[in-house]
Amino acid sequence: MAVMECAFSPEYGEAWNRRQVSDTLVLTGTHYALIAPDGSTRPTGSDPAAGFALSRGVFDEEELLLFAIAPQWRRRGLGQALLVHFIESARQRGKKRLFLEMRHNNPAGKLYCAHGFRPIGIRPRYYCALNGDRIDAITQELVLA
């Protein structure tokens, strides 16, 4: 939750609250991963997490629901390491297709593209910014070999 609260811009209302997270964590098919500042994807309870990924799978598909690195740990490769960890662990769970949804023009798109995600759809005006602007959501897919 500490990462959640600092990682997402309040402008777009993308962060989840504790209740939303805990309700999701108990659902079948939900997975999460934490990454520590040293790049370890299994931080112990006493380590501060630098970032996290939360996903939910159904049959052979899985959707990346939330993905964030705390601002002070960005641009050091942690996002990339966590994304690779997510992809590989989903593959080990037998997943064939991964999905995610992102705001149009989110810089995260560059990271997703570098790891094989491709845009497959647009939800027009899906996100509502605090100033009332509506922003398209881009659905991305990665097909695992």
The reply to whether 68 sits near ligand COA by the rule CB under 6 A is yes
State whether residue 20 is helix, strand or coil.
helix
CA distance 112 to 59: 22
Answer for which of 57, 99, 111, 136 binds ligand COA (CB under 6 A) is 111
Q: Return the range that interacts with ligand COA (CB under 6 A); candidates 38-46, 89-97, 106-114, 115-123.
A: 106-114
Residue 94's φ and ψ, nearest 5 degrees, are: 90, 15
- Look up residue 77 and give its two tokens: 């490769």
The reply to whether 8 sits near ligand COA by the rule CB under 6 A is yes
State whether residue 142 is helix, strand or coil.
strand
Sign, Cα dihedral of 13, 37, 140, 107: positive
The reply to whether 139 sits near ligand COA by the rule CB under 6 A is no
Q: How far is the CB of 96 from ligand COA (least distance, A)?
A: 21
The reply to whether 79 sits near ligand COA by the rule CB under 6 A is yes
Q: Return the range that interacts with ligand COA (CB under 6 A); candidates 55-63, 76-84, 85-93, 120-128.
A: 76-84
Binding string, residues 20-59; x marks residues near ligand COA by CB under 6 A: ----------------------------------------
Residue with the two structure tokens 């996290």: 52
Residue with the two structure tokens 């992102």: 102
Helix (H) or strand (E) segment spanning residue 74: none
Q: Which residues bind ligand COA (CB under 6 A)?
A: 7-8, 67-69, 74-80, 100, 102, 106-108, 110-111
